Chains A and B, each alone.
Chain A
Amino acid sequence: MTQFQSQIEAANQATLKVFQDSRPIWFDVRPAIDALPGMTGDVILHAGPPIEWRRMCEPQRNGAICAALFEGLAGTRVEAIARIEAGDILLAPCHDYGAVGGMAGITSASTPVAMVRDEANESIGCSLLFQGPRGQLRDRGQYEKETVRQWRWLAEVLGPVLQSAVRVKGGIDVRQIAAKALQMGDECHNRNSAGSVLLLRELLPSLVRLRVDSATLRDSVEYLSRAEQFSLCVSMAAAKAVAEAAGGIAHSTIVTTLARNGIDFGIRVSGLGDTWFTAPANPVDGLLFSSEWGEKDTVADMGDSSIMETVGLGGYVQAAAPVLQQFVGGSFQRAVRLSEEMQEITAGVLPDYRIPNLDFAAAPVATDIRHVVRTGIAPIIDTAIAHRKGGVIGAGQTRAPMDCFSEALVAFAARYRENQ
């Protein structure tokens, strides 16, 4: 092994250790303005790598406009667009503010976010709590009205209630929830049924002791007992916390971000700082929830939720959730094969996260760009499918595009070989 190779190996092992040591605790819920470093009232965050307004996909554009109206940054859609184009309203990736956002990922100053601290790595990650109304609202005006109504309820009711409950509880161990959920058929990205029940169980004893009126308590509990994907928000915040800690390790070829904005897929690599390497996002192969929809209605791969694959969950542990194979007409054997395939592009495993169906094999983690390029195996991502006009209309799988990894590897060589 050359000295350069040993440097990389040592750096990758150090990065792997960050993932393995992670001890994420959900400790608070706050409005984004109070939670995210550098957040200001005129910033609107979105999922994925950076993208110019004119190139944005429709769900993100509409989301940004809704957020501008919601925050009172503009009075009309036209004004909102004008202010965005003039740069009075700043659009930026969630990832640049220590946050992640599912689907469009639209996060503005008053958006309540779950805050997770990684106790081992002393880092923090945040995620919005909700991903917008369902896709059946075909009329855009109605859809936007419903979106804003739900955002308001989240900001004024659920956010504060969860804040109190999580504080009273004194924090919730996210690793334990995820480990248990993996034994209950979740892969913690497209399937969060078990995790959401487990979180409800953690929260409910505190919730019923809060000094809030009966209607507020009832609405909050009802929301949490119906939101089958709720735990994903908390898992994503936890994943972001450890990903933050895993970034910036010199010589490391480990991926610390996988994110999509519906147009581009972007990755970041530990040894390459905050530089994004992007390529066009792939379409998602999967099942649309109604026959009225077709491929033309969908946007390409979108959302920061692939932070779950970044930390070794989701598509990487598909064998834990064979139920999801129904979205892609797959089989259990296929799920096993994909989980095994991911071992070929990762640096190690997470001993705390085990797959019962594979005799408790540990989850593969820490994607190495060298392995991806050498094997031609791109990360597999379980994900939702968004309608062009907003809303989740399906679920399935996709691959990260290979070009981001080859570009990153070229940049890595350029940066580190020069210094040899």
Chain B
Amino acid sequence: MVDLKTRINQANDDALRILISGRPTLVDVQPAIDVVPGMRRNMVLHSAPPIEWRDMCGPHRKSVVGAILWEGLASTPEQAESMINSREVLIEPCHHHDAVGAGTGVTSASTPMFVVRNEKYGNAAFSCLSEGGTLNLLKWGCYDEPIATNLSWQAEVLGPALGAAVRALGGVDVKSIITRAVQMGDECHNRSIAAHGLFYREIAVALLDTAPDRDSLAACIDFLTQAEHFFLHGIMAAAKAILNAAAGTECSTMVTAMARNGVDFGIRVAGLGDEWFTAPANYVDGLYFRSEWGPADAAPDLGDSSIAETVGLGGFIQAAAPTVQSYVGGTMQQAINNTREMETICIGVNPDVRIPSLDFDGAPIGIDIRKVVGTGTTPLIDTAITHREGGLIGAGQVRAPMGCFENALRAFSRRYRAP
């Protein structure tokens, strides 16, 4: 009988190998209802972990109501709310549908989704398209006429054009984009400008052929030109596709999801199935985009975008993106120290994501809950700051709370030590 420690280490090696060998390819853009498993017309998805309507943070409540109105399921916010309470509209986490959503992550039946297939393992994952770069978006807990118009345009024009372009290209290799973007100053969470540029360059030629007419083409190009971080959502779907392949690896202590709903921070662990382990979400330390905003205005940590850190990007590779330090008044040395610190809680390094300023050391990848609890170091997450009533108001960094890792480790012991 092999001892538990050896079994865990072997399982973690397997889980890590699955992450590293994942081959995420963007294969299509389609409405959620047509591609997302379990999606229904009367369903709204949000960023995880699961949470009851009455407990949701301000941005979540506003986005969910907005999505119900945009879908035409209700005609007033009051009606939307009563449909939620009567369960005529179902609310579930994106993560329960192989999807991830930035910010409030609110995704409904008509939302156009990036479809990313993990070519190596055959599974797929999904993320809504980015709505663009302004401060007031559905994903930041806002909803009004211009937001609805933009969502409809994305569903009717941009989504179909991008889908056709992606299909015409025979898919877009997201892994290759991530590898190159990290050599161009992105950490692929708070900064994804290079990744988007590389995606943009690849998609532009195909769009010329697939856009239905010159006016639509110009509108799509204008949008993609201005939305500097548009492809973050493609990277998120890729990260989810990579991680899902490792979910359910028996006996592994590797984290397969980290997500925040503005109230709680939740993680999932490979050897512990679909269970969420939660603790109260921390507040984000960072830069507010206007002097009128401050910590009192901020909602706690929010969004599924920490899927980036779960796969060894974002806060784990700050040394690749010193520009992101400007949000926290940091230095290059601090960025390097942070990356080195994340190495201490990870199972291994990613040979395909290398950090130029560290002489091409591989990125730390595969968070081990044992190491997190053992070192007292929790994952560092680069992220946006959301206003408690909705709207993007800043960016910075935050730590995952230790509580979820301790809870997970206890559950792990119960499950695997039991006679």
Contact = CB atoms under 8 A, between A and B. Distances in A.
A225 B198 contact: no
Given A185-B185, A194-B194, A201-B225, A217 B208 contact: yes
A185 B184 contact: yes
A205 B183 contact: no
Contact of A205 (B202, B221, B323): B221
B322 A332 contact: no
A323 B218 contact: no
Given A208-B218, A322-B357, A197 B205 contact: no
B352 to A, nearest CB: 15
Given A323-B356, A331-B359, A359-B322, A201 B217 contact: no
B197 A332 contact: no
A213 to B, nearest CB: 12
Contact of B322 (A197, A326, A357): A357
B290 interface: no
B354 to A, nearest CB: 10
Instruction: Name A's interface SS.
Output: helix
Contacts of B202: 225
A209 interface: yes
A222 B204 CA distance: 8
B322 A356 contact: yes
A367 B190 CA distance: 37
B221 A208 contact: yes
A420 interface: no
Contact of A222 (B194, B205, B321, B358): B205
Interface in A165-209: 183-186, 193-194, 197-198, 200-201, 204-205, 208-209
A183 B185 contact: yes
B66 to A, nearest CB: 29
Interface string A102-124: 00000000000000000000000
Given A201-B225, A356-B185, A358-B332, A218 B205 contact: yes
B214 interface: yes
A214 interface: yes
User: Which of B194, B332, B356, B358 is packed against the most chain A CB atoms within 10 Å?
Assistant: B356
B225 A204 contact: yes
A373 interface: no
A357 B357 contact: yes
Contacts of B180: 193
A326 B194 CA distance: 20
Interface in B170-221: 180, 183-186, 193-194, 197-198, 200-202, 204-205, 208-209, 214, 217-218, 221
A183 B183 CA distance: 11
A52 B95 CA distance: 70
A185 B185 CA distance: 6
Contacts of B356: 185, 321-323, 332
Interface residues of A, number: 33
A360 B324 CA distance: 12
Nearest to B223: A205
Interface string B235-247: 0000000000000
B189 to A, nearest CB: 16
Contacts of A183: 185, 323
Contact of B359 (A201, A214, A332): A332
Given A204-B221, A222-B205, A323-B183, A359 B357 contact: no
Interface residues of B, number: 32
B194 A225 contact: no
User: Which of A198, A214, A356, A358 is packed against the most chain B CB atoms within 10 Å?
Assistant: A356
Instruction: Name B's interface SS.
Output: helix
A221 interface: yes
A230 to B, nearest CB: 11
Contacts of B204: 200, 204, 221, 225
Contacts of B205: 218, 221-222, 225
Contacts of A186: 184
A268 B204 CA distance: 42
Given A356-B323, A356-B332, A357-B322, A194 B184 contact: yes
A185 B183 contact: yes
Interface in B288-339: 321-323, 331-332
A307 B332 CA distance: 29
Contact of A225 (B186, B201, B217, B321): B201
B52 interface: no
A347 to B, nearest CB: 26
Contacts of B359: 322, 325, 331-333
A361 to B, nearest CB: 10
Given A200-B200, A225-B205, A357-B357, A184 B225 contact: no
Contacts of B193: 184
A332 B323 CA distance: 17
Nearest to B330: A359
B78 interface: no
A197 B194 contact: yes
Contacts of B221: 204-205, 208
Contacts of A359: 322, 331-332
Interface in A283-335: 321-323, 325-326, 331-333
A386 B193 CA distance: 33
A284 to B, nearest CB: 22
B323 to A, nearest CB: 5
B145 interface: no
Given A214-B208, A357-B332, A359-B322, A197 B201 contact: yes
Contacts of B214: 208-209
Nearest to B211: A208
Interface in A325-368: 325-326, 331-333, 356-360
Nearest to B199: A197
Contacts of B3: none
B55 interface: no
Interface string B103-114: 000000000000
B57 to A, nearest CB: 33
Nearest to B217: A208
A247 to B, nearest CB: 34
14 contacts: A184-B193, A194-B185, A197-B194, A204-B221, A218-B209, A221-B205, A225-B201, A323-B356, A356-B321, A356-B332, A357-B357, A358-B332, A359-B332, A360-B322
Given A185-B184, A200-B201, A218-B208, 8 more contacts: A183-B185, A197-B198, A201-B197, A204-B204, A204-B221, A225-B202, A332-B357, A357-B332
- Which 4 residue pairs spanning A and B have beta carbons closest together? A197-B197, A322-B356, A356-B322, A185-B184
